[in-house]
């Protein structure tokens, strides 16, 4: 945390994206989180991903709930739309916004408290419906704002800063997301931007419900020996199934890999995901196998990261509902009230 605004000076040689922006143009207000907070790294990764994708800031809506993680949308994309909603209610606000204007990119930013405790139901239904969004959980296993009580994602057996052992079972949000039908599921680590940035980029390009669980150490209350969400523990137990390179449809360069080592997944918008396999027999399209893989590794105390599941032909809520292509909020009275004859025709069809 700092009291100073970040100076407006920037490195004279900063690269610019196709819109002419540098990554500094995607920043927000200066963070008020604790110094060293993992959430600030995720903020930086989101900034980097949006910069690399040349996203126009006004095309993004950031929606969050309550908690340290839910404060972070203030710290990135200062020129985008934002809504800081009620505790645990980010998913329903996001769903409503998405239904009203399908043209925006929706970033739902939440934490383990916001999504795994008070908002667990909202989380489940939002994924179940396949809302087109990126749902990021900044997962530190504690309630940071209230001084570090265990949250619902804290692993059983892990120790609090004061040495108390957690006796409750933990909620694995990645497993839930897989079970609930999310079409893009990934886990990453705030301390590994090389992995995190392409995962966020791929999730933004994905059509459908994309869920990313980002382990984000709480330096104030959950970065000690005995914690399973500390920098040291995550680095020691990180088991990445793959390394992802995101190739946007606008990138002209063909990336060449040795055959066999890389699987290329084409997404709906023409972007490509080049997956370098690290776990030999891991199939990124097999939902049930992914669940088994997760459970086996969790039992061994390992944290599986990388792109864990992606559906090749994904669909979203608008496709399920058969809504028109134009955003609903742009429809005028003429389109919404087509007149008596149209109503008669509908009524006749239901008789």
Partner 1 sequence: MKNTDISAPDYFHKVVDCQWACPAHTPVPEYIRLIAAGRYSDAYMINWQSNVFPGVLGRTCDRPCEPACRRVRVENEPVAICRLKRVAADYKDDITARLPKPAAKKNGKRIALVGAGPASLTVARDLAPLGYECVVFDGDPKAGGMIRSQIPKFRLPDSVIDEECGYILGLGVDFRGGTAISSMKALLAQGYDAIFVGSGAPRGRDLDIPGRKEAAANIHIGIDWLSSVSFGHVSTIGKRVIVLGGGNTAMDCCRSSRRLGGEDVQVVVRSGFEEMKASPWEKEDAMHEGIPIHNFLVPKEFTHDNGKLTGITFEKVKAEYDAKGRRKLVPSGEPDQHFPCDDVLVAVGQENAFPWIEADCGIEFDQWHMPKVDPVTFRSTHPKIFFGGDAAFGPKNIIWAVAHGHEAAVSIDKMLNGEDIVDRPLPATELISQKMGIHEWSYKNEVMPDQRYKVPHRDLKIALKDIKAEVELGFDDKLAFQEAGRCLNCDVETVFTPSLCIECDACVDICPMDCITFTQNGDEADLRQRLNAPALNLTQDLYVEDGLKTGRVMVKDEDVCLHCSLCAERCPTGAWDMQKFFLTMTHAGPSCRPPVTRRSAA
Instruction: Assess contact for 23 and 71: CB atoms under 8 A.
Output: no
Q: Determine if 225 is a binding residue for partner 1 (CB under 8 A).
A: no
Q: Is 198 in the site for partner 1 (CB under 8 A)?
A: no
> Which of 87, 125, 193, 277 is close enough to bind partner 1 by CB under 8 A?
193
Q: How far is the CB of 45 from partner 1 (least distance, A)?
A: 9
Considering only 49, 204, 219, 294, the residue that binds partner 1 (CB under 8 A) is 219
Residue 239 interacts with partner 1 (CB under 8 A): yes or no: no
CB of 253 to partner 1, least distance (A): 18
Given the DSSP bridges, would you call strands 184-189 and 209-215 parallel, antiparallel or unpaired? parallel
Confirm if 217 and 38 have CB atoms less than 8 A apart: yes
Query: How far is the C-alpha of 9 from the C-alpha of 24, rounded, in Å?
Result: 10
Rounded to 5 degrees, what angle do the CA atoms 190, 83, 107 make?
40
Q: What residue spans of the chain are helical by DSSP H?
A: 38-52, 68-71, 90-100, 112-113, 120-129, 173-179, 193-205, 231-237, 287-299, 317-321, 333-336, 340-350
Burial of 268 (0-12, 13-18, 19+ CB in 10 A): middle
**Chain centroid offset of residue 104 CA:** 15
Give min distance, CB of 23 to partner 1, in A. 8
| Footprint on residues 108-167 left by partner 1 (CB under 8 A) | none
If binding is defined by CB under 8 A, does position 3 make contact with partner 1? yes
Regarding 73 and contact with partner 1 (CB under 8 A), the answer is: no
Residue 29 touching partner 1 (CB under 8 A): no
Least separation in angstroms between CB 8 and partner 1: 6
Size of the site for partner 1 (CB under 8 A): 33
Rule CB under 8 A: choose which of 16, 19, 32, 35 binds partner 1. Answer: 35
Minimum distance of partner 1 from residue 47's CB (angstroms): 9
**Contact with partner 1 (CB under 8 A) among 21, 37, 140, 173:** 37
- Quick one: which H or E segment has residue 190? none
Chain residues that interact with partner 1, rule: CB under 8 A:
1-4, 6-14, 24, 31, 34-38, 40-41, 43-44, 190-191, 193, 217, 219, 223, 231-232, 235
């Amino acid at each position: 945390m700092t009291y100073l605004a970040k100076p407006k000076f920037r490195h004279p040689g900063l690269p610019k994206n196709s819109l002419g922006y540098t990554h500094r143009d995607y920043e927000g207000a200066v963070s008020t989180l604790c110094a060293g907070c993992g959430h600030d790294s995720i903020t930086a990764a989101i900034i980097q991903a949006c910069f690399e994708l040349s996203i126009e800031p006004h095309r993004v809506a950031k929606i969050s709930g309550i908690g340290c993680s839910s404060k972070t949308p203030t710290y990135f994309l200062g020129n985008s739309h934002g809504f800081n909603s009620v505790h645990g209610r980010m998913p329903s606000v996001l769903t409503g916004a998405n239904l009203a204007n399908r043209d925006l990119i929706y970033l739902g930013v939440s934490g383990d408290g916001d999504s795994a405790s008070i908002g667990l139901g909202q989380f489940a239904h939002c994924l179940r419906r396949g809302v087109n969004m990126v749902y990021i959980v900044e997962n530190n296993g504690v309630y940071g704002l209230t001084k570090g009580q265990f949250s619902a994602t804290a692993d059983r057996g892990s120790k609090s800063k004061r040495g108390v052992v957690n006796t409750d079972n933990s909620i694995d949000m990645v497993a839930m997301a897989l079970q609930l039908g999310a079409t893009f599921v990934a886990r990453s680590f705030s301390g590994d931007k090389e992995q995190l940035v392409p995962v966020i980029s791929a999730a933004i390009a994905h059509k459908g419900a994309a869920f990313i669980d980002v382990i984000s150490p709480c330096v104030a209350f959950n970065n000690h020996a005995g914690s399973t969400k500390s920098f040291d523990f995550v680095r020691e137990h990180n088991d990445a199934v793959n390394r992802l390179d995101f190739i946007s449809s606008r990138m002209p360069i063909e990336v060449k890999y040795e055959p066999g080592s890389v699987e290329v997944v084409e997404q709906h918008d023409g972007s490509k995901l080049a997956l370098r396999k690290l776990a030999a027999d891991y199939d990124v399209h097999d939902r049930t196998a992914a669940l088994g893989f997760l459970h086996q590794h969790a039992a061994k105390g390992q944290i599986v990261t990388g792109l864990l599941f992606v559906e090749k032909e994904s669909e979203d809520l608008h496709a399920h509902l058969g809504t028109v292509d134009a955003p609903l909020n742009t429809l005028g009275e003429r389109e919404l009230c087509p007149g008596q004859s149209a109503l008669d025709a509908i009524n006749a069809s239901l008789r």
